[in-house]
Structure 1
């Protein structure tokens, strides 16, 4: 029973496909100019989009150098700079300690020295000052 139903369904699908193909052939012959113009228009549209994206694309941002002159003037060590970057990323003392493989007390000491050198009283002040100086992005 199922084989007969599947067989009839396959025959109907093949017949429908044949009719659609014949209709497509007639359509392609009678409207060949319209189809050609449509394909040319689509090609120019794609070309315009590609060229527009390339021409008007935002330039690549300049590489962040960390303002070496400000670092030298402040006297920040490499470790203090790493701690400051972690602060700017929003990490807690424990997270910073885990990332840098040091104790939380060492992180507190580095943060205190960063606060002194940046003349800041809290984390947000230190981060704001460091961004103003171009030390952290």
Structure 2
């Protein structure tokens, strides 16, 4: 988190410096506006490429860590539909939103969520998600 804040702070400082530089360059007539815009575009391109590379590396690590233990799903007795509901719950969706996505009634979703809570020995949805991650039945 601190690193992200530092990167965006550096980006803001760089943009402010470029704007100040362009203001003085235009006042003194040393540079035309196209060169200033090109310089700003190059800085943003370099920062974007760096952030994209860092983001891609982070996604790769998460994908490697996020292996699903299908045997554990069977062991816990979670049905395919309950697993679908669990995935939707892990995305932070409400019962109503899940019902709309899966084309079932809201009461059916409530039943599935109750079954999931029982099978994972959880009292709340957030606790169920945490336990599911611990059991490696949903991706981190």
Match of 2:95 in 1: 93
Larger Rg: 1
Match of 2:105 in 1: 103
Q: What do residues 55-88 of structure 1 show as CA deviations (whole Å, max 9, x unaligned)?
A: xx84943385421111011010000000000000
* Distance in 1 (alpha carbons) for counterparts of 2:74 and 2:87: 16
Count of aligned pairs between the two proteins: 82
Match of 2:64 in 1: 62
Q: TM-score by structure 1 length?
A: 0.55
* Distance in 2 (alpha carbons) for counterparts of 1:63 and 1:79: 24
Match of 2:130 in 1: 128
Cα RMSD between the aligned structures? Answer: 2.0
- Runs of 4+ deviating beyond 6 Å: none
> Which residues of structure 2 form unaligned runs of 5+?
1-52
Q: TM-score by structure 2 length?
A: 0.54
Match of 1:82 in 2: 84
